Amino acid sequence: MKIQSISPLGAEISGIDLSSKVDELDIKNIKKAFLDNLVLIFRNQKLRPNELLSAAKLWGSPQIHPVFKGSESFPEIIRIENLGEKYHTNAHWHSDVTFEAKPPDATILYALDIPSVGGNTFFSNQYLAYDHLDLSLKDKLENYHARHSNKSVLQLVGADTSLEKSVLHPIFRTHPETNMKALYVTEAFVKKIEELQKQESEATLKKLYSVANNKKFQYEHRWRNGDMVVWDNRCVQHYAVHDHGDKTRTLNRITVEGSRPY
């Protein structure tokens, strides 16, 4: 197995077949590479749904999404398909499912049918985002919280928005395994900073988002069929570009259970 790091985040792992049993030394090296690089890319995989589910367990217990319905045989697996730009769900910067009290630790995507051009996914390193914030802003927001809501997701799937729920998470999240701090606000789900009035909250979030999405902190993944990509949802944001019109773009997605941010 070979690990090739990418700056400013990401590593491509070759020489491993995730459809078969992974030995203990490789598991140890994969887990270390995950914490060190935040995004892992496994090329040329051939994974049936049960094999994808088994591979995902390297990062934790696969979970059933609280809004989107999974497949009948494997409810933990969500099929992501191109339904046109109007119904594109990921064309914004976000970490997954932050509107839950315990958001997933990791997300796994497996590419089944990718267009020859377009449909790339950007990833942004939120450790670097935190490090590059002005010290005065970090000091001010150190113990502040953002309110995350699932309303936008409910609207997207046509569900009853009276079922909206929200949760408070710290603006700066401490990673439970690395003990490093990451910026933890997302345009997709954050409604406001709880400790600030609306106008100041909006202005502050605008500043935070501009740092979170800085191009200097990004890796652009150009998908190929057979790619399995896994990223650390605790310190990474991502953005799926919809620039492929009605062309087929199909992936399987799994998230694994996480812990309460602190």
Whether residue 261 lies inside any domain: the answer is: no
**For residue 85, is pLDDT > 80?**
no
Instruction: Find how far residue 92's CA is from the centre of its chain.
Output: 11
Fill in the amino acid letter for 217. F
Instruction: Please state, in angstroms and rounded to a whole number, the distance separating the CA atoms of residues 261 and 176.
Output: 9
122 DSSP β-pair partners: 220, 239
Mean pLDDT (the chain, rounded): 94
Whether residue 89 lies inside any domain: the answer is: yes
Residue 242: per-residue pLDDT: 75
- Phi and psi at 64, nearest 5°, equal -90, 130
Q: What would the two tokens of residue 136 be?
A: 């005065």
Predicted confidence band of residue 201 (pLDDT cuts 50, 70, 90) = very high
Angle at the Cα of 223 from the Cα atoms of 217 and 228, rounded to 5 degrees = 90
Q: What would the two tokens of residue 43 be?
A: 């090329």
CATH of the domain at 91: 3.60.130.10
239 DSSP β-pair partners: 122
pTM beyond 0.85, yes or no: yes
Average pLDDT over residues 78-106: 82
Whether residue 33 lies inside any domain: the answer is: yes
Residue with tokens 């944001």: 237
Predicted confidence band of residue 140 (pLDDT cuts 50, 70, 90) = very high
Whether residue 160 lies inside any domain: the answer is: yes
DSSP strands (E only) in the chain:
2-5, 11-14, 39-42, 78-80, 106-113, 121-125, 145-149, 166-170, 172-174, 181-183, 190-193, 218-221, 228-232, 236-240, 250-256
Question: Structural domain tally of the chain?
Answer: 1
Whether residue 131 lies inside any domain: the answer is: yes
Instruction: Please state, in angstroms and rounded to a whole number, the distance separating the CA atoms of residues 152 and 157.
Output: 9
Domain span at residue 15 reads 2-256
Whether residue 262 lies inside any domain: the answer is: no
Fill in the amino acid letter for 151. K
Let me know: does 11 contact 5? Beta carbons within 8 Å. Answer: yes
- Phi and psi at 202, nearest 5°, equal -65, -40
Lowest mean pLDDT across 74-83, 87-96, 193-202, 248-257: 87-96
Whether residue 72 lies inside any domain: the answer is: yes
Lowest mean pLDDT across 103-107, 159-163, 244-248: 244-248
Instruction: Please state, in angstroms and rounded to a whole number, the distance separating the CA atoms of residues 95 and 10.
Output: 16
